[in-house]
Structure 1
Amino acid sequence: MEKILIADDNQNITNILKDYAQREGFDVYVAEDGERALQLVAQHRFAMILLDVMMPVMDGFDVCKSIRSHSNVPIIMITARGDDYDRIMGLDIGADDYIVKPFVPAEVMARIRAILRRIGHTQNANILEIDSLMVNLDEYEVRIDNEPILLTKKEIEILWTLMEFPNRVFTRDNLLDKVWGTDYYGDSRTVDSHIKRLRSKLDGKGSMGWAVATVWGLGYKFEVNHNAS
Structure 2
Amino acid sequence: MTDILLVEDNDELARLLKAFLADSGYSVLHAARGEEAVRYAVQGSVRLMILDIMLPGMDGFAVCRAVRAEQNVPILIMSAKSDKEDKLMGYELGADDYMEKPVDPEILTAKVNAILQRTEGRKEAAVISSGEITVDQEARTAYLKSRPLELNVKEYELLLLFVQNAGKTLRKEYIFGKVWGADSFSESQTLTVHVKMLRAKIETCPREPRRIVTVWGVGYRYEEI
Residue in 2 that maps onto 1:58: 58
Look up the SS of the partner of 1:3 in the other structure: strand
* Alignment-mate amino acid for residue 89 of structure 2: M
TM-superposed CA distance for 1:2, in Å, is 4.5
Q: What are the within-5 Å matches in structure 2 for residues 197-208 of structure 1?
A: none
Aligned mates of 2:74, 2:119 — CA distance in 1: 9
Aligned mates of 2:44, 2:72 — CA distance in 1: 14
Q: Is the 8 A contact 1:2 1:25 kept in 2?
A: no
Residue in 2 that maps onto 1:76: 76
Look up the SS of the partner of 1:72 in the other structure: coil
Larger Rg: 2
Residue in 2 that maps onto 1:39: 39
Aligned mates of 1:114, 1:43 — CA distance in 2: 23
Residue in 2 that maps onto 1:158: none
The change in CA–CA distance for 1:120 and 1:37 in structure 2 (over 3 A counts) is: closer
Q: Give structure 1 stretches of 5+ with no counterpart.
A: 122-229
Deviation readout 1:59-101 (Å, 9 max, x if unpaired)? 0000000000121111000111100000010011000000111
Look up the SS of the partner of 2:46 in the other structure: coil
Aligned mates of 1:30, 1:20 — CA distance in 2: 13
Residue in 2 that maps onto 1:10: 10
Question: Quick check: 1:29 aligned with 2:29?
Answer: yes
Identity of aligned residues (%): 39
TM-superposed CA distance for 1:114, in Å, is 0.7
TM-superposed CA distance for 1:116, in Å, is 1.1
Aligned mates of 1:109, 1:53 — CA distance in 2: 19
Deviation readout 1:115-174 (Å, 9 max, x if unpaired)? 1111235xxxxxxxxxxxxxxxxxxxxxxxxxxxxxxxxxxxxxxxxxxxxxxxxxxxxx
What is the aligned residue count? 122
Residue in 1 that maps onto 2:197: none
Q: What are the within-5 Å matches in structure 2 for residues 17-166 of structure 1?
A: 17-43=17-43, 45-120=45-120
Q: Is the 8 A contact 1:21 1:109 kept in 2?
A: yes
TM-superposed CA distance for 1:42, in Å, is 3.6
The change in CA–CA distance for 1:42 and 1:120 in structure 2 (over 3 A counts) is: closer
TM-score calculated relative to the size of structure 2: 0.52
Aligned mates of 2:2, 2:35 — CA distance in 1: 22
Q: Is the 8 A contact 1:3 1:26 kept in 2?
A: yes
TM-superposed CA distance for 1:44, in Å, is 5.0
The change in CA–CA distance for 1:55 and 1:111 in structure 2 (over 3 A counts) is: same
Q: Is the 8 A contact 1:3 1:46 kept in 2?
A: yes
Aligned mates of 2:2, 2:113 — CA distance in 1: 12
The change in CA–CA distance for 1:13 and 1:46 in structure 2 (over 3 A counts) is: same
Q: Is the 8 A contact 2:5 2:50 kept in 1?
A: yes
The change in CA–CA distance for 1:3 and 1:112 in structure 2 (over 3 A counts) is: same
Aligned mates of 1:97, 1:84 — CA distance in 2: 13
* Alignment-mate amino acid for residue 113 of structure 1: N
Higher RCO structure (Cα 8 Å, ≥6 apart) = 1
RMSD across aligned positions (CA): 1.7
TM-score calculated relative to the size of structure 1: 0.51
